[in-house]
A = this chain, B = another copy of it.
Amino acid sequence: MKIICLGTASCYPTSNRSVSCTAVRFEDGTVWIFDCGEGAQIQLQKSPVRPSRITKIFITHLHGDHLFGLPGLMCTLANMVPDRNDFTLEIYGPQGLRKFIRDTLILSRSALTYNYVVHELIPIAEQYPEDWNTWPADNLATGSLHPQEKQGKDITATNDLTWNVFDGQNVCVKAGALMHSIPSFGYVIAEQDEPGKLDAEYLKQLGVPPGPLYSRIKNGEAITLPSGKALDPLKVLGPPKRGRKITILGDTSDSFRMVDLAQSSDIILHEATLENSMEEKAIDMGHSTPKMAAQYAEKVGARVLMLYHFSQRYKTVLVNDTDLCVDTLLKEAQHELSTRNCPCKVFLAQDLMEVSVPRPSS
């Protein structure tokens, strides 16, 4: 699994950072996109990601810097990839996303060469800001579907505040609630553990012939040997290969509802919009500081913390004496982790960076 950063700025794009968009590429080439700010399709062109391999798009929240590139990307996927009536692009995100996509595609009369479906995550009451009802409330997609749209499902939270987003054969995706100025979610992509290798040599000695028995043993079944004795599968199985866990959080001023869900993540993408000294302002605006992100990474026991979604205040290249450097955010996170003797590694995301997520040694 590889993470490819396509946009790492908050709010609006700059000359060297596009707004929020992250790709996750699997070993078989399949690509999932997380958030889709304006310009995502342009960033994709500059990256090694093949648009035709995108099968799923996950949106953390409906702010424009995470969303406004989605209609353009969907149209360009249709332009770049020939008719594939058998393909359905699956899109997941907060309630309101279905209406956003349907309205933008219908008003622009954008026909697609593939089908799409939007599954909506229904927020819990605490995710809504106090002033939520002061705005016109109309976030449900009504009326006819887009010609290439299939009816999606609504996903509600379980009692332990988990949204079961997707359950695949090798990987599942769950979402959790974040606190922000509008309902925001984090996604946890968890690979299944794989059983360890069979000790074929030893099995041969025990008189077990290669065949269907092997896979039953691999699945942990206790079988009876030709000698009549029971075989403990653990005796002939190597250690299981632990699945990887990637946690990608949307904008947040409080990620602690997602501690259990993200436990033992191999990598966490957490926003760090403003520096520690601006914590009050950051929280007020629904955002985090490096310290807050580091504390979260420690709490969930993450191996690696990747910070992103930086305010425009922080420059990558310092031109003026008064310029603030984005490295400040890195140092603040490092300091927090080392103060806590936390072994988690931390780095700053930058556009078009590729990060391999190796399997953890179990």
Contacts and interface: CB of A to CB of B under 8 A. Distances in A.
- Complex copy number for this chain: 2
A109 interface: yes
Given A12-B79, A136-B145, A62 B182 contact: no
Interface string A108-149: 111000000000000000000000001110110001111100
B108 A99 contact: no
A72 to B, nearest CB: 4
A196 interface: no
Contacts of A12: 41, 72, 75-76, 79-80
Interface residues of A, number: 47
Interface in A32-86: 38-39, 41-42, 45-46, 62-65, 67-69, 71-72, 75-76, 79-80
Contacts of A347: none
From DSSP, what is the main secondary structure of chain A's interface residues? loop
A103 interface: yes
Contact of A99 (B11, B45, B103): B103
A317 interface: no
Contacts of A134: 147
B147 A138 contact: no
A63 B107 contact: no
A23 to B, nearest CB: 18
B75 A110 contact: no
A64 B136 contact: no
A100 interface: yes
A104 interface: yes
B135 A143 contact: no
Contacts of A109: 62-63, 135, 181-182
A68 B108 contact: yes
A301 interface: no
Q: Which of A63, A68, A100, A181 has the most CB of B within 10 A?
A: A68
Interface of A: 11-15, 38-39, 41-42, 45-46, 62-65, 67-69, 71-72, 75-76, 79-80, 96-97, 99-100, 103-104, 106-110, 134-136, 138-139, 143-147, 181-182
User: What 3 A-B pairs have minimum CB-CB distances, sorted nearest first?
Assistant: A136-B144, A38-B72, A12-B76
24 contacts: A11-B76, A11-B79, A12-B41, A12-B75, A12-B76, A12-B80, A13-B41, A13-B45, A14-B45, A38-B39, A38-B69, A39-B42, A63-B110, A64-B71, A64-B72, A64-B75, A68-B104, A68-B108, A104-B104, A106-B138, A134-B147, A135-B147, A136-B144, A136-B146
